[in-house]
Amino acid sequence: MDSREKSPYVAVVGGVNVDIGGIPFEAPRANDSSPGVVRTAVGGVGQNIARNLRLLGVPVTLLTAFGWDEHGRAVQRVCESAGIDLSSALQSAEKPTSVYLYIADEKGDMQLAVSDMDICRLISPDYLAMQEKVLNGARAVVMDANIPKESVLWLAEHVCVPLYADPVSLAKAEKLRPVLGRLHALKPNRLEAEILSGIPIRDEEGLRASAEKLLSTGLRRVFISLGAKGVFAADASGGALILCCPARAVSMTGAGDAFLAGLVRAGLDGLSTAGSARFACAVAAVAVESAETVNPRLSLAAARQKLS
């Protein structure tokens, strides 16, 4: 018997990267090298969400693509250590594992980056069709918009369980426009919500109008991230601004991925839209209290303590 049949799981469809970043000790100078530190870590939106879900006690199957290379072996080690099921993932001998290469400033904020994610094209409708039983055997499916547009469409048409989506970026958010009405939940930031709704968000009125426009497509829940100001959570019954939980922030990187994992966990537990947002904010608050993209100290207990 497939181990996934023994316990309910969530299927995550998305990218996995090896992140290589350079952080200088002082403000970087153009056309010159800067003393600093170089860090390498396994990341990617899909993988980050999957790892956060595992820390929240949710069994996870990750549908992704990586190469038969040193970076691919690193992906396998990290995912297997986290308890993420990779039995449905695709490993390619032709394409290298995705790499995200960035240069930050002395504060750690990204200044320049190159993303080599061509391997994500392999997360195709044909590949997903071979995994249809795995996808619809899950309690929920999460997709990030790093996958091809055709694959986004395929998932929207064939997944029969609650489907969560992360727009990832302004450019990639456009892939979600045709499928908004088929999503259970969408987690855009303010700019992504503006792009997808066509409504500027300059005040609370614009925020509510944007959410209503998105919900009019048939989308069930929308959670518009407002950064330090919190999140606007809305469904057909209305919307509310949910404030961030207090946190001693070390790094904001990965907060959004943790938030979406929190939404999924809350949805599995049957929480309301507002309740899901509160719990997800608590998860994100734990996440930012670490220099690592995924805080290894995240747990259900830690998130619930933030709520209390």
Cα gap 271→120, rounded to integer Å: 33
To 5 degrees, how large is the angle CA 146–CA 2–CA 157?
40
The domains of the chain are located at 3-15+43-74+82-89+121-307
Phi, psi values for residue 212, rounded to 5°:
-65, -40
pTM equals 0.93
Q: What is the CB-side half-sphere exposure of residue 233 using CA atoms within 13 A?
A: 19
Taking a C-beta distance cutoff of 8 angstroms, is the pair 38, 22 a contact? yes
Q: What is the pLDDT along the chain (308 residues), one digit of tens a residue?
A: 344 544 689 999 999 999 998 989 998 888 899 999 998 999 999 999 999 999 999 999 999 999 999 999 999 999 999 999 999 999 999 999 999 998 988 877 778 889 899 999 999 999 999 999 999 999 999 999 999 999 999 999 999 999 999 999 999 999 999 999 999 999 999 999 999 999 999 999 999 999 999 999 999 999 999 988 999 999 999 999 999 998 888 877 889 999 999 999 999 999 999 999 999 999 999 999 988 889 999 999 999 999 98
Strand order in the sheet with 110-116: 36-43, 17-24, 99-104, 110-116
Query: Whole-angstrom Cα distance, residue 4 to residue 83?
Result: 12
3-15+43-74+82-89+121-307 is a CATH 2.60.40.10 domain = no
Q: How far apart are CA 265 and CA 254, in angstroms?
A: 17
Q: Cα separation of 261 and 130, whole Å?
A: 25
Reading the block at residue 195, the tokens are: 């792009």
